[in-house]
Structure 1
Amino acid sequence: MPKASDIKKGSAIEHNGKVFFVKEISKLTPSGRAGATLFRMRMYDVATGSKADESFKADDMINLADFSRRSATFSYVDGNEYVFMDSEDYTPYNFNKEAIEEELLFITEETQGLQILIVDGAPVAIELPSAVDLEIVETAPSIKGASASARTKPATMTTGLTVQVPEYIANGEKVKINTTEHKFMSRA
């Protein structure tokens, strides 16, 4: 059993007899000497989809839930449902738009390396690769000779994600975006 300080975003844990998927973790460090570091976790109940916020001390022991990861690709949109196809046995996994709204900013039909987290036979979350390639659809015109400066400008991707890119990047270019930090990494 890992400690609360070892739990990462995207983990499936058991708490109060239910299985939760950890969506966000924030670390709270009190200023006093005797205060213990707290980890506040925003979790979603796998069965009902309800949100729960819990705080754990750093050395609290937490049970990890049994889950599996399956490689998948984005297939199509069916109303408010997004359908992903298992890369090995072609099993479809449906997700409601609200459940994966944050991840959708990085997913296109060409996105490779997606993982579906499955708990008790049901898909609960999408795990993104560390970086994805996206195309810029809107940004200010590129400036020649701007590669020497470190100035940036906002750029909107095909998925609607807006990130800061260097001034020399132009519309229509593919760029590599870090999915955890939401930052430009390089040209694709």
Structure 2
Amino acid sequence: MAVETAANIRKGNVIEHTDGQLYVVLKAESFRPGKGTPTTTIDMRRISDGIKVSITHKTQEKLEKAFVEEVDYTYLYQEGENFVFMHPENFEQIMVPASLIGDSAPLLQENMTVILQLFNETPVLVKFPARMTFEIAETEPVVKGQTASSSYKPAVLDNGLRITVPPHIGPGTRVVINTEEMTYETRAKD
């Protein structure tokens, strides 16, 4: 375990909290008021049972950061409530519970490579590529008089995910989405 100040904790880090449990950081924000002590608010999920917790620390307080190994794995298939991944070199398979992947499950595509963060050989977090390309399956028609700069319209991707896109994007268009924010980034150049 490494010691890290609260201000240096980032999304994806695994920390050991004062209760002795391991938590994966979902979001960390530092707040520096004009007067008073700067603080860092950390939203995290307990690895053992998936319960979400939010804590606030002074930015200079020390936290125990667990060592996690990042390994590339290939997604194979879903089996019940688990997703099966395979190590590309030694072909060992590992089951990842659906609760660990959460709302990102529709992003999984057969034979895609993701990074699994492992703590003591147990998966604690799945990292997807930062940007992925999908096709728009359906979207609302453009409303006459809408300005292109500020209005976005709802759209459904070919994997069932719902996002908002600019008015000029129609069904059949391939788009690049930001997987961390689940938002439209640009039209695909392929």
Question: Normalising to structure 1: TM-score of the pair?
Answer: 0.82
Aligned residue-pair number: 181
Asked whether the 8 Å contact 2:30–2:59 carries over to 1, the reply is no
**Given residue 184 of structure 1, which amino acid in structure 2 is its aligned partner?**
Y
1:181 Cα deviation after fit: 2.2
**Could you say what the CA RMSD is over the residues aligned between the two structures, in angstroms?**
2.5
1:128 Cα deviation after fit: 1.5
Aligned partner of 1:14 in structure 2 is 16
Aligned partner of 2:36 in structure 1 is 34
Q: 2:28 aligns with which of 5, 9, 25?
A: 25
1:141 Cα deviation after fit: 4.1
Aligned partner of 2:56 in structure 1 is 55
Structure 1 runs, 4 residues or longer, greater than 4 Å off: 26-29
Aligned partner of 1:81 in structure 2 is 82
1:76 Cα deviation after fit: 0.5
Aligned partner of 2:179 in structure 1 is 179
1:142 Cα deviation after fit: 6.5
Unmatched segments (≥5 aa) in structure 1 = none
**Given residue 79 of structure 2, which amino acid in structure 1 is its aligned partner?**
D
Per-residue deviation, residues 5-46 of structure 1 (Å, max 9, x unmatched) = 1111111112233332212334456x672243232332323x
Asked whether the 8 Å contact 2:15–2:64 carries over to 1, the reply is yes
Per-residue deviation, residues 111-151 of structure 1 (Å, max 9, x unmatched) = 44x100000111111012111112221212479xx9x9324
Question: Does 2:129 match 1:129?
Answer: yes
Cα separation, 2, equivalents of 1:142 and 1:74 = 37
Unmatched segments (≥5 aa) in structure 2 = none
Aligned partner of 1:3 in structure 2 is 5
Overall identity of the aligned pairs, in %: 25
Asked whether the 8 Å contact 1:24–1:43 carries over to 2, the reply is no
Asked whether the 8 Å contact 2:28–2:40 carries over to 1, the reply is no
CA distance 1:106–1:27, change in 2 (3 Å): farther
Aligned residue for 1:84, secondary structure, equals strand
Question: Normalising to structure 2: TM-score of the pair?
Answer: 0.82
**Given residue 169 of structure 2, which amino acid in structure 1 is its aligned partner?**
I
Aligned partner of 1:103 in structure 2 is 104
Cα separation, 2, equivalents of 1:65 and 1:89 = 26
CA distance 1:18–1:93, change in 2 (3 Å): same
Aligned residue for 1:2, secondary structure, equals strand
**Given residue 89 of structure 1, which amino acid in structure 2 is its aligned partner?**
N
